[in-house]
Structure 1
Amino acid sequence: MPIKAILTDIEGTTSAVSFVYDVLFPFAASRLPGFLREHQAAPTVAAQIEAVRAEAGEPSADLDQVIEILLGWMREDRKVTPLKALQGQIWQKGYESGELKGHVYPDAVAALKQWHAKGYRLYVYSSGSIQAQKLIFGCSEAGDLTGLFSGYFDTTSGGKRDGESYRVIASAIDVAPQQVLFLSDVTAELDAAREAGMATCGLAREGELEADHPVVASFDRIDVAAY
């Protein structure tokens, strides 16, 4: 069955891991306390503060405790939905002010544009929030790339190492798993996508990727028609 849709990871795949860890995470961590104190009454922020209390099992935590919980999760690189949502809101302000520009590899930009022009439907699946995904591509160094994508998925669809998440996504986009090509730099994610029936391709941007999947060093090495 020919590939109809391409589902891509971000960190280490379309974008440098260093951008996330050396730019985005420190930016969010340094601004999180002030952001929460200033915007705690805003509905979108208040809802996430409550979600942090629920996730941490600390229903009576005050704001200072919530901030410490969130900073701890950041240090541990926890893939927790309320943390990702709040990071996304902080990053949005950074992108809007021009302090942040999303990093996307030039080869990824070129391939995504070519695939879109050829009629492939493009989707993103990242542990970062959907808001954060749109910001990276919408405010990228290469300009606004959001018009290339038909949809975005995050941890609200399930964990990236769980095969069921990929079946959920295939159902949501109404494409048979066998007609979806998933791109990632993480072997466990590639394994989960294959378990769900998807075609897979690993990205080894920095060093090697030990995986029982096709592996390439850049997007210009991916021949979608060969799948």
Structure 2
Amino acid sequence: MRRGKVEEASERGEGGEASLGTCSQNAPAVSGRARRAQRRRALCSLPPGPLRVGPRRPIGASPRRRAGTPPPPHVAPAAPPPRSSASAQRALRTSPAELPGSSRAPRSSRSRSGRGGVMVVLSVPPEVTVILLDIEGTTTPIAFVKDTLFSYIRENVKDYLHAHWDEEECREDVSLLRKQAEEDSHLDGAVLIPPRSEHGADDTEQMIQAVVDNVYWQMSLDRKTPALKQLQGHIWRAAFAAGTVKAEFFEDVVPAIRKWRQAGMKVYIYSSGSVEAQKLLFGYSTEGDILELFDGHFDTKIGHKIESESYRRIATSIGCSPNNILFLTDVTREANAAEEADVHVAVVVRPGNAGLTGR
């Protein structure tokens, strides 16, 4: 598994308090817009070791200080001193509500190299009873998704289509891609897929190549259409079942999920990948089959991740208020949408992730 280490995510505290080591912070009792304004959190990237977690300040903002106290001298932040394994474990055991992620602090409190860090805090409000997790860049390294999973699709989609072309499931996959291609016909570079023909091998080969070209085109644009995700999921299913591919997670993920469940929280996945593909990842992983750790899965059938209504639908499906959900994602556009729906949000920054932008 990749580094980005939190040894374990500790149990929930009371009153929305979270601490790491000697730091702690009480979440103030606020509501409405003021509460939403406080929700954004950034999980900060440090050298290998326990996670430091902190509330996200606007770029250029200074840390709060009590009235009447002089401003601190300006000093460049330094990397925290190394902590022994034993002391790190003691600190983690005292942390009531950690979240996974190795992090990068806001620019106002980190060195230019990105390897410095500060001891900071993330408060998990007491009303949170549901953890909603993104996958790519949150539980799973982006490098694994792009370099392993997506590369496998590009290298094997044609062989897969040849092997399964006459099967009903494959026929349905191609039909959905054909409909999507028709909807995309006005876009530059869109590849149309001709209707099925029974006139010979040449026509079949032409159709298969059109499907391959369409898949390549969509993937080059990082599109997340249900038709594309469905075919990808079926190709990955064959790879996982054959043992060709095993999913990878950041090493803090499984311990954190187990702690959340021990604390009585429910854990759900929300990803642009199909529910079937999600279950493959967590069913065939380097950690074994860990599907039992999750209470449910959501994909874009419930709505796109950058639309606030999607998060309201998820809350309705779970049977809770949006305010009972904490959503962890590495994409700020998704975080913004979730906040608009009154969902608590933590923005996770992992090794290899893009910076905290509006992507």
Normalization by structure 1: what TM-score?
Answer: 0.88
User: Structure 2 matches for 1:85-96, cutoff 5 A?
Assistant: 85-96=230-241
Superposed CA offset, 1:134-155 (max 9, x none): 1111111111111010111111
Deviation at 1:60, TM superposition (A): 3.2
Q: Which residue of 2 aligns with 1:9?
A: 134
Amino acid at match of 1:32: V
1:187–1:209 CA contact under 8 A, matched in 2: no
| Corresponding residue to 1:48 among 147, 168, 173 | 173
Q: Which residue of 1 aligns with 2:211?
A: 66
1:182–1:193 CA contact under 8 A, matched in 2: yes
Amino acid at match of 2:254: V
- C-alpha separation in 2, matches of 1:85 and 1:192: 25
Superposed CA offset, 1:85-115 (max 9, x none): 1111111111111111101111111101111
2:132–2:326 CA contact under 8 A, matched in 1: yes
User: Structure 2 matches for 1:211-222, cutoff 5 A?
Assistant: none
Amino acid at match of 2:274: S
Q: Which residue of 2 aligns with 1:224?
A: none
Judging changes above 3 Å, is the alpha-carbon distance between structure 1 residues 209 and 78 closer, same or farther for their aligned structure 2 residues? Answer: same
1:104–1:137 CA contact under 8 A, matched in 2: no
2:137–2:350 CA contact under 8 A, matched in 1: yes
- C-alpha separation in 1, matches of 2:349 and 2:341: 22
Superposed CA offset, 1:21-58 (max 9, x none): 00000111111111112212222221121111111104
Q: Which residue of 1 aligns with 2:163?
A: 38
| Corresponding residue to 2:348 among 203, 210, 218 | 203
Amino acid at match of 1:115: W
| 2:323 aligned with 1:178 | yes
Deviation at 1:10, TM superposition (A): 0.3
Q: Which residue of 1 aligns with 2:302?
A: 157
Q: Which has the larger radius of gyration?
A: 2
User: Structure 2 matches for 1:87-126, cutoff 5 A?
Assistant: 87-126=232-271
- C-alpha separation in 2, matches of 1:63 and 1:26: 19
- C-alpha separation in 2, matches of 1:39 and 1:130: 21
- C-alpha separation in 1, matches of 2:193 and 2:156: 24
SS of the counterpart of 1:106? coil
Amino acid at match of 1:98: G
2:268–2:294 CA contact under 8 A, matched in 1: yes
Judging changes above 3 Å, is the alpha-carbon distance between structure 1 residues 208 and 156 closer, same or farther for their aligned structure 2 residues? Answer: closer
Superposed CA offset, 1:175-213 (max 9, x none): 11000110000000001011111001010113675379x
Deviation at 1:74, TM superposition (A): 1.7
Judging changes above 3 Å, is the alpha-carbon distance between structure 1 residues 92 and 59 closer, same or farther for their aligned structure 2 residues? Answer: closer
Deviation at 1:121, TM superposition (A): 0.9
Runs (5+) with no aligned partner, structure 1: 213-227
> How many residues are aligned here?
212
Q: Percent identity?
A: 37
| 2:147 aligned with 1:22 | yes
Alignment RMSD (CA, Å): 1.7
Normalization by structure 2: what TM-score?
Answer: 0.57
Amino acid at match of 2:227: P
Deviation at 1:19, TM superposition (A): 0.2
- C-alpha separation in 1, matches of 2:162 and 2:242: 20
- Spell out structure 1 runs of 4+ moving beyond 4 A: none
